[in-house]
């Protein structure tokens, strides 16, 4: 009989909160239980990192903070109303997920605008349950610059250094996805504990500013971190719709460069709020392309249930498959959560 770890799939980057927010603002509740949970179950996902704080060029920092608080409130209400789901804020809660049959939700940030200009807010969001955070989206904020500004040699700001150090003190995992190259290097030099990239690929396989260089991959691996394979089409192939072979090509390279302990899943699906997300991507400073067709057969959370099949076909053994599906993320979360 397999252990819980062997069947524990982790999605390190979920944007489903946008769907929850849309429904809640319209007066409708239960999207997590009626829409997301069935997809998670079908995909074999037992833990999802849901981003509840994000940057946007068309909002102020205070608007970003208000939106983050609103999202956190909505997610907590949806979780409380569903017996099959629980928040994961501590190592004990993580182990409860492993031992039981609930799906865990770990709160994360995708951009630090909601911190405004006060490092004290880091501890407030930690109290509210945030356990992982990326510093930027694509542009510059008070903390650092995103990959849309990869030509800049600016790393973290002084405020950004304070934020990263406070995250380390509290045990909030640093996510370097979306950071500029200079930002990644600076963040790695300041951070304590594991550093991850929740939804990023290898630039050597697909040359895109949102993907990681081999040097960055090795640096994250050396810190005991994990890189979540991103299924977004532009980060897999810039000329055609990708397929499962492109996912395997990325995994092979990440493992060749950083070892099998550095790989996980961070698919970055957008199907839950596709129209809104596409409009945002088309106006971004990062080239996301214009065709948002995900790899054939891997277009939604429910499709993650096919991952073991393509990994076996690629020649991966059971131990490596376990690590990719969730074992590596579990290692990092166990180390970081108090």
What's the pLDDT at 7? 67
Is beta strand 195-196 parallel, antiparallel or unpaired with respect to 173-175?
A: parallel
Record the tokens describing residue 149, joined without a space: 């500004």
What's the pLDDT at 283? 80
3-state secondary structure (DSSP) of residue 113:
helix
Record the tokens describing residue 326, joined without a space: 């969730």
What's the pLDDT at 332? 98
Q: What angle do CA 231, 134, 104 make, to 5 degrees?
A: 70
pTM over 0.75: yes
What's the pLDDT at 3? 41
Q: Where are the beta strands (DSSP E) in the chain?
A: 9-14, 45-54, 85-87, 103-110, 130-134, 173-175, 195-196, 227-229, 263-265
Cα–Cα distance, 120 to 99 (Å, whole number): 35
What's the pLDDT at 2? 42
What's the pLDDT at 1? 30
What's the pLDDT at 150? 80
What's the pLDDT at 193? 84
What's the pLDDT at 220? 98
Average pLDDT per 10 consecutive residues for the chain, totaling 338 residues: 59 97 97 98 97 91 97 98 98 94 97 97 98 95 92 90 98 97 97 95 97 98 97 95 98 98 97 83 86 95 96 96 97 96
Sign of the CA dihedral 111, 254, 170, 168?
A: negative
Record the tokens describing residue 127, joined without a space: 């109290």
């Amino acid at each position: 009989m397999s252990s819980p770890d062997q069947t524990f799939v982790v999605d390190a980057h979920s944007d489903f909160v946008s769907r929850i927010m849309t429904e809640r603002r319209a007066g409708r509740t239960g999207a997590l239980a009626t829409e997301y949970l069935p997809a998670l179950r079908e995909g074999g996902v037992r833990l999802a990192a849901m981003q509840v704080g994000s940057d946007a060029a068309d909002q102020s920092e205070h608007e970003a903070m208000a939106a983050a608080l609103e999202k956190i409130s909505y997610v907590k209400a949806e979780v409380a109303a569903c017996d099959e789901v629980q928040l994961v804020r501590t190592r004990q809660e993580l182990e409860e997920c492993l031992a039981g049959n609930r799906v865990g939700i770990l709160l994360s940030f995708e951009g630090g605008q909601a911190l405004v200009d006060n490092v004290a807010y880091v501890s407030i969001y930690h109290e509210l349950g945030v356990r992982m955070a990326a510093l930027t989206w694509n542009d510059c904020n008070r903390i650092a610059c995103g990959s849309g500004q990869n030509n800049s040699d600016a790393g973290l700001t002084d405020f950004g250094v304070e934020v990263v150090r406070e995250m380390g003190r509290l045990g909030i995992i640093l996510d370097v996805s979306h950071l500029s190259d200079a930002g990644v290097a600076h963040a790695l030099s300041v951070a304590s504990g594991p550093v991850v990239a929740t939804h990023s690929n290898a630039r050597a396989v697909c040359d895109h500013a949102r993907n990681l260089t081999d040097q960055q991959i090795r640096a994250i691996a050396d810190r005991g971190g994990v890189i979540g394979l991103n299924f977004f089409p532009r980060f897999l192939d810039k000329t055609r719709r990708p397929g499962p072979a492109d996912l395997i090509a990325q995994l092979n390279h990440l493992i060749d460069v950083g070892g099998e302990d550095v790989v996980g899943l961070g698919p970055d699906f957008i199907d839950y709020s596709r129209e809104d997300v596409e409009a945002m991507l088309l106006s971004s400073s990062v080239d996301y392309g214009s065709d948002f067709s995900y790899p054939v057969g891997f277009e939604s959370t429910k499709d993650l249930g096919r991952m073991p099949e393509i990994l076996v076909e690629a020649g991966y053994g059971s131990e490596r498959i376990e690590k990719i599906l969730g074992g590596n993320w579990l290692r990092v979360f166990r180390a970081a959560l108090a």
